[in-house]
Amino acid sequence: MRVSLELLWAEVDLSAIRHNVRALKAWVGPRVEVAAVVKANGYGHGAVPASQAALEAGASRLAVGWVAEGSALRQGGITAPILVMGYSLPEDAPAIVYYDLTPTVCSRDMALALSDACQVQGKEIPIHVKVDTGMGRFGLLPEEVVGFLKEVARLPGLRLEGLWTHFATADEGDKSYARRQFALYQEVLREVEAAGFAIPLRHAANSGAALDLPETHLDMVRCGIAIYGLYPSAEVSRPVSLRPALTLKGRVGHVRTLPAGFSISYGRTFTTSRPTRVALVPIGYGDGYHRLHSNRGAVLIRGRRAPILGRVCMDQCVVDVTDIPGVRDGDEVVIIGRQGDEVITAEEVAAWADTIHYEVVTGLTSRVLRVYRGAESTLPARPGA
C-alpha cells in the first residue's frame, strides 16, 4: 500500500529554473550558449527534471561530472549534448561513445580508447580538452596543450570541439587571480590557433564568472548554482534576479510540553530551563541535514522561527515551539525556504554548519522525496529517489 502522507519533501519549482536560465541567457546575450550544470543530481534538485526545465528555457547543453551521470540522463530521455567535465577512464570509452557523451580528454590513453571505441561503433564524437590555468585539479598544463592536440588530431573518430578552463576564485570579491587565469587561457587559445586548430566552443565561466566577469563569457558559460536560483556567494554581484527553486518542507509531529530540567536528544547537550513546548521535525543527517545544526539551527512553523534543541539525529530533530502559539501535529514546517514573512535560505543553513549552500542542496539524500511544481513536460513519478 502506498504511503499517503510524506513527512518530508523538497518542492522543486521548475518554473524558477526556467526563469533563472532565461535571466542568465538574457544577461550573457544571444551569441553565448548556456550549459546547465546538472551534476550531483542537478545540485540535489533532480537531474532529469532540472535538465528538462533548463533546456526548455534555452540552455543548449548540459554538463555533468562523470560518465555515469551522463548515461543516466540519456536513460532519462535527455537528448541534448552532455559535456562530461571530470576525468573518465579508458574502460568507459565504449559507454561514452554509445551514449553520445562529450568527454573532456586530457590523456593520451583516454584519447586512444575513445578513438578505438568510435571505430568499433562506427561513430565520431566531439571532445573537449581542458587546460589547467591554476585550479590545480584536472587538465593539461598550458605548455602541454598544443602537443596534445597534435596527437589527438591524428586519431580517427575524435572531433575537437572545445578547449576550456575553470576558475578557482570567480566567486570571490577579489578577481585578480581569476583574471590571471583568464589571461593564461587566452594565451593558450592564441597558441592553439597559431598551430592551426579551430576551437568552436571556448568556455571558462561558471556562475561566478558568468555574473561578475562578462569578458570571460566567450562561446559558452557553464552555470550550475545560478540555474537553481542561488548566487555563488555574497561577494558576487547580482546583475540578474534569480529565484531559488528548492523549498524543503515537512510536517511536525509529537508536539508536547517537557518540564524544566529535561535534557533533549543524544549526548544531553541541551536541558530545558522552563516548561518547554517541543515538536519533532522529520529531518536528520540521514537526509543530509547536518549534525552541526544541533543547538544552532532553526526551522519555520506558522511563519515563526523554532530553534533546534539538542543534537540533530539521523531521522529527526527537536525544536522549541514554546513561543509559537497553536502548533499542532501535522503542521507544515519549512526547513529551507519561505513561510509567511520569514525565510531560511540555503546560505543561512550552510552557515550553521560552516559550509557553503552548494553542499546544503547537493547533500539532500535520496530519502527526501522531490516534488515538482511548474512542470512543462511529463516527469517521472519519483525522480531522484
CB–CB of 228/43 below 8 Å?
yes
Q: How far is the CB of 208 from ligand PLP (least distance, A)?
A: 6
**What residues are labeled active site?**
39, 266
Cα–Cα distance, 316 to 107 (Å, whole number): 46
How many residues in total does the chain contain? 385
Quote the cell numbers at residue 276: 518547554
Q: With binding defined as CB under 6 A, does residue 166 bind ligand PLP?
A: yes
Decide: is 363 part of the binding site for ligand PLP (CB under 6 A).
no
Binding region for ligand PLP (CB under 6 A) out of 47-55, 88-96, 219-227, 301-309: 219-227
Q: Which of 52, 181, 206, 272 binds ligand PLP (CB under 6 A)?
A: 206
| By the rule CB under 6 A, 370 interacts with ligand PLP | no
Three cell numbers, residue 257? 510540553
Of 208 and 337, nearer to ligand PLP (C-beta) is 208
Strands 220-223 and 33-37: parallel
Of residues 276 through 295, those in contact with ligand PLP by CB under 6 A are none
**Interhelix angle for 47-56 vs 67-75, to 10°?**
70
> Contact between 225 and ligand PLP (CB under 6 A)?
yes
- Compute the least distance from the CB of residue 237 to ligand PLP, in Å: 14
- Note whether 140 binds ligand PLP by CB under 6 A: no
Mask for 83-122, x = binds ligand PLP (CB under 6 A): --x-------------------------------------
CA-to-CA distance for 53 and 66, rounded, in angstroms? 21
Of 64 and 248, the one with the shorter C-beta distance to ligand PLP is: 64
Stretch that binds ligand PLP, among 66-74, 178-186, 223-231, 279-287 (CB under 6 A): 223-231
| Least distance to ligand PLP, CB of residue 139, Å | 10
Q: By CB under 6 A, how many residues form the interface with ligand PLP?
A: 12
Of 3-11, 113-121, 151-159, 202-210, the window that binds ligand PLP (rule: CB under 6 A) is 202-210
360 binds ligand PLP (CB under 6 A): no
Task: List the x/- string, 19-48, binding to ligand PLP by CB under 6 A.
Answer: ------------------x-----------
C-alpha 233: how far from its chain's center?
14
Q: Determine which residue in the list 207, 233, 272, 316 makes contact with ligand PLP, applying CB under 6 A.
A: 207
Site mask for ligand PLP (CB under 6 A), range 231-270, x = bound: -x--------------------------------------
Q: Is 345 exposed, middle or buried (0-12, 13-18, 19+ CB in 10 A)?
A: middle
Distance of closest approach, residue 85 Cβ to ligand PLP, in angstroms: 4
Confirm if 147 and 138 have CB atoms less than 8 A apart. Answer: no
* Residues 254 and 329 sit within 8 Å (Cβ to Cβ): yes
- Interface with ligand PLP (CB under 6 A), residue from 224, 284, 288, 337: 224
Least separation in angstroms between residue 233's CB and ligand PLP is 9
Residues forming contacts to ligand PLP in the complex (CB under 6 A) are: 37, 85, 166, 206-208, 222-226, 232
